[in-house]
Chain A
């Protein structure tokens, strides 16, 4: 059955390739845009506060998931891709008979990239008794606020694993974490790929922000087990003159470069362009965004020796996601890590609902919560799959997406 995607964005942004959720550092760099969101509140509201995917049906027959993500504001670049995946989960599942015949519905609320707005709309969601589980937030601060609402209202809340630190998370009862994307798996995979080219000394070029620093730290941690020497060249996030740092990286004379966590494919492309333009012939790992046409526009044509994540190719996905990836592509989406993250979040909650239905229990917040507690790895999400120019035949990592609340870490690669 062909799957359509009725709730896609109308602004052409579906084709955007998501880059790095770690780019949320940008949000902390600039609070101004958050304030600007208030000034353009009318426009932000028009961007969508609530929409449903997957059709309706009475509340008795619907698995209604409340979602709080950024449709507008600085984090919309990440939020919209997660939302696309989440909506697509509902559309795809409903087109294939729903969950034991029950349709899935997403009640989406725009947090406008602002934590306090997220808390407010989370309260709106929890006030709706037909919402049986919630998810949301790109930033740790907002995840904490949402989890407080979830705990008070006794509704399951699935956060991103990176958003909630262990120290806080372990004390929560209704809050769960999902590892929708794995920096560690990505760094490991691309380092292995660079090592396969013969590289032993790798220089990581990264911005000094909340995404760049952990990526470099991960590369350093992995270096001993991979037999690599890792050095780093960092630069202030948002600097106008990253080309100077490319020159500096070249001066380090590594065997290969890893361009890590530039905030957008454009910035990543500019870094790669600067390296190549200044004579660097070594392999360059550019795992996040190099598959984007915008990256190629930035580098110019004819750039070679760049190793990147080609996970957006549906045929390169592990089996559970091939059909979904293909359907996403047919629906005009470009599957990426955020999109699959959103999909996997929906799938995790859907798996809990299925347990409830299979037990022939009523679908309530309490039964869904109990079911989520019993899940260990409700869904898997692809890790880095295929690299170019030398393809890996086998997936390098398939990362369990869901972590039980009881503290058992099942995330395999991160």
Chain B
């Protein structure tokens, strides 16, 4: 039993990481209609910056996190500014998608140039060590990731549902034109959304760095899984995206215990394609989809 608890906990904690990156993708898409293929690289950037501050310069991990978050915000804002000329063009979703693919390559190259090629570990946020839960060993950083992701999701929910800024963001997501007519600064809101999504990814990368290590390429795997979660959520359902990310991570972990573990990506993507064939609009509820 302890074995399976350990497997599920490992899955859930990685799921917290996937969840934050996937939600970053989701709010970015909802708010700007841009599929940001550089989202995973922002997570890698956050992880490497966090490692540099804590592992190299011996910063306090909490202080480092306070630097990583605005750095992710700034990187997201920069990406949005670079995308802005393409947003009003025809087939903008395709154009901006291609541009973000290019930016993904550029960010990876820049991370490698600045931080090097090796996998690196940031310092644990609440110290090393582990706890025992029902006989299973749980690394403290696992708990940090899960709690951190939960707090972020809660904060995002409260922001979007119970604040004036959230109302503006949702209005902009529903209709950018309508928002502009009533005086909302669409460009400013879109920049904020983009930067917010990037902040989530950067923080996710920092949180996972002490547990899994980070390198300049580590954003790719999380991007793939996050995209699956995003598409399963019909691109716009935050709840389905978040739950989907965690479920996918647990499925990955459980698959790892079987002989199919070697082919986990094949199995996951196969199931993903099957799910889309059956339900092309994603698996979000009608109610959620109606909110689009």
Chain A interfacial positions (CB closer than 8 Å to B)? 11, 13, 16, 26, 29-30, 32-33, 35-37, 39-40, 43-44, 72-74, 76-77, 208, 234-236, 238-241, 243-245, 247-248, 251, 263-267, 269-270, 277-279, 294, 297-298, 300
Contact = CB atoms under 8 A, between A and B. Distances in A.
A297 B253 contact: no
B11 A241 contact: yes
Contact of A241 (B113, B128, B130, B253): B253
Given A240-B17, A240-B222, A266-B121, A40 B55 contact: no
B139 A241 contact: no
Contact of A244 (B7, B121, B128, B263): B7
B108 A32 contact: yes
Contacts of B113: 40, 43-44, 72
Contacts of B257: 244, 247-248
B110 interface: yes
Given A236-B264, A297-B55, A251 B3 contact: yes
B119 A33 contact: no
B118 interface: yes
B117 A277 contact: no
B119 A267 contact: yes
Contact of B137 (A43, A72, A269, A279): A279
Question: Shortest 4 CB-CB distances between A and B: which pairs?
Answer: A36-B109, A244-B256, A40-B109, A266-B119
B6 A247 contact: yes
A238 B106 CA distance: 21
B213 A241 contact: no
A244 B10 CA distance: 7
A239 B119 contact: no
B261 A245 contact: yes
Contacts, number: 131
Interface string B115-136: 0111111000000111000000
B3 A247 contact: yes
B262 interface: yes
A240 B285 CA distance: 29
25 contacts: A11-B116, A29-B217, A30-B220, A39-B105, A44-B113, A77-B116, A77-B117, A234-B262, A236-B261, A236-B264, A238-B221, A240-B14, A241-B253, A244-B11, A244-B253, A247-B3, A247-B10, A263-B119, A264-B119, A267-B119, A277-B137, A278-B6, A278-B137, A294-B120, A297-B121
B120 A266 contact: yes
A11 B3 CA distance: 43
B252 interface: yes
A40 to B, nearest CB: 4
Contacts of A208: 262
A33 B121 contact: no
Contacts of A76: 117
A6 B265 CA distance: 47
Most buried by A among B11, B14, B256: B256
Interface string B236-260: 0000000000000100110011000
B184 interface: no
Which of A74, A76, A243 has the largest number of chain B CB atoms within 10 A?
A243
Interface in B135-153: 137, 139
Contacts of B129: 300
A251 B2 CA distance: 11
B105 A32 contact: yes
B32 interface: no
Nearest to B264: A236
Interface residues of B, number: 47
Contacts of B112: 33, 36, 73-74
Contact of B10 (A44, A77, A241): A241
B73 interface: no
A37 B111 CA distance: 11
B104 interface: yes
B29 interface: no
B118 A77 contact: yes
Given A32-B104, A40-B106, A266-B120, 9 more contacts: A32-B220, A44-B113, A77-B117, A208-B262, A244-B11, A263-B119, A270-B212, A270-B213, A300-B129
A235 B10 CA distance: 15
Contacts of B10: 241, 243-244, 247
A264 B213 CA distance: 10
B227 interface: no
Contacts of B14: 240-241
A208 to B, nearest CB: 6
Contacts of B109: 33, 36-37, 39-40, 43
Nearest to A12: B116
Contacts of B45: none
B50 interface: no
Contacts of B102: 39
Contacts of B252: 239-241
B194 interface: no
A295 to B, nearest CB: 10
B217 A245 contact: no
A29 B217 CA distance: 10
Given A236-B264, A248-B257, A16 B221 contact: no
Contacts of B216: 33
Contact of B128 (A239, A270, A278, A300): A300
B251 to A, nearest CB: 11
Contacts of B261: 235-236, 244-245, 248
A26 B117 CA distance: 11
Contact of B121 (A11, A16, A298): A298
Contacts of A29: 217
Contact of B213 (A77, A235, A298, A300): A298
A33 B249 contact: no
A33 B217 contact: yes
Contacts of A251: 3
Contacts of B120: 266, 294
Contacts of B249: 240-241
Contact of B130 (A264, A277, A294): A277
Nearest to B106: A39
